[in-house]
């Protein structure tokens, strides 16, 4: 008896980073995500405790004998509601070069149209700039789009407020 393979339904989004922890803390604020809890901690993912959980990871890594130079080699975020993809940030030695081949669309104004939509996007844009993002370009509503704002995270990875 043969079985038909089922499609995979869960994904993890992986981002290259110079400092996974720093970039992870940024994305946790953007998405309302939580740091992946330390194994065996019994903690539930909590967006209000992202930095505390990140610090707990440092204690865990030291206890496991991981060299200090490797402490910022990876960082993981999870959706506390369990519906969004896990975000894994991995350290790479080189800086981003060229245009992103893939990017995230942060759904900041779902269901809104026209000026109400653009005002909501501008408001979220201002919040993210305060967190370290850079505003790159505003795209007005048109025949193929309801309007969006292109931004870059603190390490230059482009994303859209949609």
Instruction: Kindly report, residue by residue over 51-100, the tens digit of the pLDDT.
Output: 999 999 999 999 999 999 898 999 999 999 999 999 999 999 887 777 78
- Distances from the Cα of 123 to the Cαs of 37, 45, 70, in angstroms? 31, 27, 37
Q: Which residue has the tokens 């408001």?
A: 123
The pLDDT of residue 139 is above 90: yes
CB atoms within 10 A of CB 86: 15
How confident is the model at residue 32, as a pLDDT? 97
Going from N- to C-terminal start, the domains of the chain cover 12-91, 104-161
């Amino acid at each position: 008896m043969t079985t038909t393979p089922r499609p995979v339904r869960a994904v993890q989004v992986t981002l290259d980073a110079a400092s996974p922890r720093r970039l992870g803390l940024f994305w946790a604020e953007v998405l309302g995500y939580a740091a992946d809890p330390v194994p065996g901690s019994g903690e539930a993912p909590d967006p209000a405790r992202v930095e505390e959980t990140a610090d707990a990871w440092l204690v865990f890594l030291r206890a496991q004998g991981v060299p200090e130079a490797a402490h910022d080699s990876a960082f993981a975020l999870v959706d506390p509601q369990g519906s969004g993809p896990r975000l894994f940030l991995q350290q790479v030695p080189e800086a981003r070069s060229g245009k992103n081949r893939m990017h995230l669309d942060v759904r900041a104004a779902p269901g809104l149209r026209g000026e109400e939509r653009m005002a909501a996007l501008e408001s979220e844009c201002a919040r993210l700039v305060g967190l370290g993002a850079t505003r790159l370009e505003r795209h007005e509503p048109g025949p193929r789009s309801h309007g969006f704002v292109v931004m870059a995270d603190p390490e230059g990875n482009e994303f859209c407020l949609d």
